[in-house]
Each structure stands twice: as structure tokens, then as C-alpha cells.
Amino acid sequence: MNELPEKVVQLEVLRINRNIGKRCKCGTPNYVIDTDNREVHCTKCGSRVDPYDAIYGLARHYERLQDEVERLLRQRREIADYKPWLLVFRNLESHYRGKEMLPCCPECGKAFYFEHVNSWTNRRMEELRRKRDG
């Protein structure tokens, strides 16, 4: 029994490493939640983030969330204000402002006042007429 065995078995089931530090070093991380494994990950660096640290970070940087909400509201207003069918009229109106410019008839080329427009026609009917006459 005084001799050491030739084969030494090491037990390394669990180790503690206190010098690793935090994995995610992103200044403003974005998080994704894995609901199956109940984990939070940083989308920028891909590191696993402790859920408490994620909530704490969001609470500390609530201004960032408010800025994001403001950006989304501005984008919503831009989308709501975008009406492609009005682009032609907006362009005409910007030239007509101040009565310095007048629109011209695309057929005869004569200028006219918007106030003189007194009738309208159906688009499909006009397209059929142009095909027939054209």
C-alpha cells in the first residue's frame, strides 16, 4: 500500500472560476429572451445575460426605451401622413403657392387656374377613350 497507483482519477465535475467577470461587455445591449430554456441573450455579442442584470440594465437606461418609443411614434406619423395619391397635388400646390406659377394643360399646353377646374371624369373611361382615339 505504500506505492501510488499508476492511474490517477481526477474528479472535475464542478469548478469555480471567480476571475471571469461579466460576459456581455456591450454598452447598450439588446436582449432576446429564450422562453424554452428560460435564458436571456445579448443580440449584439450573443452572450448569455443573467435575467436580473438585464432587468437592472433596462431600469437604469429607461431613457433609451423612451427614445425608442418616440422614434416609433415619429415613424408612425410619417407613415400615416404618407399618401401617395396626394403627392401630385402636394407638388402642384407647392408650385402654385403665391400664385407665381400656374399649371399647364398636358394636352394643349395652355396655363389655367385651379379655380377654373369645374368637372372631373372617370379614370377608366378616360383610359378607354385614349386607347380608342390613340
Of 2 and 87, which is predicted with more confidence?
87
Q: Convert the pLDDT of each residue in 105-130 to its tens digit.
A: 888 999 888 788 888 889 899 899 88
Grid coordinates representing 43?
Answer: 443580440
Residue 104 DSSP class: B
Q: In the prediction, which pLDDT does 57 show?
A: 84
Q: Is the pTM of this model over 0.85?
A: no
What sign for the dihedral angle of Cα 95, 100, 103, 109?
negative
- Asked if pLDDT for residue 20 goes beyond 70, the answer is no
What is the Cα–Cα distance from 38 to 84, expressed in whole angstroms? 45
Residue 75 has pLDDT above 90, yes or no: yes
